[in-house]
Amino acid sequence: MIDYESATSFLDEWGTFQQQVFFLLCLSVVPNGLAGFAIVFVGDTPAHRCLIPAHINLTAAWRNSSIPLEEDGSSGTMVPSQCFRYKIDELLRFSERGLMPGIDVNLSDVSRESCLDGWEYDRSVYTATITTEFDLVCENSWKNPLTSSVYFCGILVASFLSGQISDRYGRKIVLFVTLAVHSLFIFLQVFANSWAVFCALHFVVGMGQISNYVSAFVLGTELLGPRARTIFSTIGVNLFFDVGYMLLPLCAYLLRDWRKLLLCLSLPGFLCLPFWWFIPESPRWLVSQGRVKEAEAIVRDIAKRNKIHPPAVIFHSSEVRFEAKRLNICDLLRSRNILPAVLLTIAYFVLSLNTANLYGDVYFNCFLSALVELPAYILSWVLFRWCSSRLSVSSSLIACGVLLLFVQLIPANLVLLAITLEMMGKFAVSTAYAFVYAYTAELYPTVLRNTAIGACSTASRIGSIIAPYFIYLRRYWTSLPYILMGSLTAVTGLLSLLLPESFGRPLPDTMAQMQHFPGCCQKTPYTVTKTDDENPDERNLQVLNEENKRDPVFQHISS
């Protein structure tokens, strides 16, 4: 196999081309940050109560007493019921006879009924959400978390498929097609006239959301040199995603109607489509597909933009070797590296959705949740640049787990301390989450890199799909979500110690060059060379095996 890093070492590490690609690809993920958690505002449930139609002739006293009081499970105080009212027929009889509620009539003896005339909603925070427009409350309250789950189901399906499509047909075309799909279907949601239509469109939005993000991430990883790649995969892409995330509460604050908000969120994606003419296909991927002439043409164009004179021959034909068969996710699963890796990405989305459940102003809480990720991404770059990848992921996850387990010990009256601990947990898991994408990109070869990241993303969406219902465990015991999330995250941190180490190693291009899960035997995939050499060069595999033997975790397992 061509040593791509050596063959292209004459290119400037941070020339005009690299700077342009870096910032354009980072800008392409800002729409993802804007739309990623839009459901926090689009689907929020404001305070509500049964509607008492204005034409019903009730006295002021009976109209004010038409809603029964119920105990609030979290605070223990008595609050007006959100799903029941006293029977209107009985209230009319009492009102016509001049009886007074609580004096002449014991309200506990009055029959109740559901909200037959609909609900009235508090409009102080939102003008309209899908909850208020489609009445996703009371007997229909199950539809609200399902809306988020449908979105994450779309992400799950796309994570599974888009990576394989990208590995087969190219990173660039998948990036821009899914970017257009993502923006178009957010725009179409503005015209949804029912909850079912909204969910169908929301599913496709989820598919576009993850597909263009992962494709942009992989394309940048393969186009940039080692140092720029580290910055891009840790700080760059995550920082720009977080910028979009922080702009979301600002847009939601200014646009209190869900249709206007979605219309605003659809525009940035369309503005990124002209980037097609400035971002090339990955030459590394083209080489892995045997399309060496196309790859060499792109590399020469990069050299021209950087004002560098390239050598006469960049990729020597005697070195060209490519996979004889098309690889897919089955080859990835057989590598066994994916088994521990898929566990690392679950906690982030569970925590992100749970932070929407914090006390206080919803706009400020969302901004705070996004803001805490900024230093996390900076820390992830520092760790990725100078520290062990495996130990960095493990320590971040264990720290998150411990912090979440401590949240349950905080007294109920110390709300700010509980929020602080949860935000520290979000900081730790965001560090690990940013790290995981870059780590996964370094573990898996070019021929399966997009599929590998998509597979890890698929696993994380399983947690995301469960998360909306996971939060409802608070109804049974307030501490239960924190105990489960803390335990899961801490155990995942311990399991991550079994992953291979990628720190200081070049990106693998073939399955043979990929590092393997300690203790697992691997078969070298059959390859073909253009020089009729039918035996693959196993030197890289032997070197990696020797390095694994020096790994302390490998030695411990072997012993």
Q: Give pairs for 544-550: CB < 8 Å, separation 24+.
A: 544/513, 544/514, 544/515, 544/516, 547/515, 548/500, 548/515, 548/516, 548/518
Judge whether 139 lies within some domain. yes
Same domain, 110 and 251: no
Question: Of 440, 508, 21, nearest to 228 (Cα)?
Answer: 21
Q: From 262, 295, 318, give the residue that closes a domain.
A: 318
β-pair type (78-80, 321-323): unpaired
Judge whether 541 lies within some domain. no
Same domain, 385 and 273: no
Same domain, 479 and 333: yes
Same domain, 389 and 509: yes
Helix/strand/coil (H/E/C) assignment for every residue in 103-171 = CCECHHHCCEEECCCCEEECCCCCCECHHHHHCCCHHHCCHHHHHHHHHHHHHHHHHHHHHHHHHHHCH
Judge whether 536 lies within some domain. no
**For each of the chain's 559 residues, which pLDDT tens digit applies?**
566 777 777 888 888 999 999 999 999 999 999 998 899 899 988 989 999 998 888 888 888 889 998 877 656 678 889 999 999 999 999 988 888 988 888 888 889 999 999 999 999 889 999 999 999 998 898 898 889 889 988 988 887 788 788 888 889 999 999 999 999 999 999 999 999 999 999 999 999 998 999 899 889 988 988 888 888 887 888 889 999 999 999 999 999 999 999 999 999 999 999 999 999 999 988 888 888 888 889 989 999 998 888 888 887 655 555 444 555 555 555 554 444 444 444 445 445 544 445 556 778 877 888 888 888 888 888 887 788 877 888 888 888 888 878 877 777 677 778 778 878 887 887 887 777 767 777 777 766 666 666 666 666 666 666 666 666 666 566 677 777 777 877 887 887 787 777 776 776 766 666 666 554 444 444 333 443 344 434 444 444 444 444 444 334 434 4
Same domain, 272 and 291: yes
Cα 200 to its chain centre, rounded Å, is 19
CATH number of the domain where residue 347 is located: 1.20.1250.20
Same domain, 455 and 424: yes
Judge whether 181 lies within some domain. yes
Same domain, 185 and 302: yes
Model confidence pLDDT, tens digit, residues 320-342:
554 445 555 555 555 544 444 44
Same domain, 34 and 112: no
Judge whether 535 lies within some domain. no
Residues 61, 103: Cα–Cα separation, whole Å: 11
Same domain, 281 and 392: no
Total domains in the fold of the chain: 3
Model confidence pLDDT, tens digit, residues 59-94:
888 888 899 988 776 566 788 899 999 999 999 999
Q: From 68, 95, 121, give the residue that closes a domain.
A: 121
Same domain, 42 and 54: no
Judge whether 226 lies within some domain. yes
Residues 400 and 425: beta-carbon distance below 8 Å: yes
Q: From 318, 339, 358, give the residue that closes a domain.
A: 318
Quote the tokens at residue 438: 């870059």
Whole-model pTM? 0.75
Q: Which residue has the tokens 């309200």?
A: 107
Range of the domain at 62: 50-121
Judge whether 432 lies within some domain. yes
Question: Of 423, 437, 432, 427, nearest to 375 (Cα)?
Answer: 427
Residues 8, 486: Cα–Cα separation, whole Å: 45
Same domain, 35 and 56: no
Same domain, 391 and 493: yes
Q: Give pairs for 297-303: CB < 8 Å, separation 24+.
A: 299/8, 299/11, 302/11, 302/15, 302/17, 303/10, 303/11
Judge whether 300 lies within some domain. yes
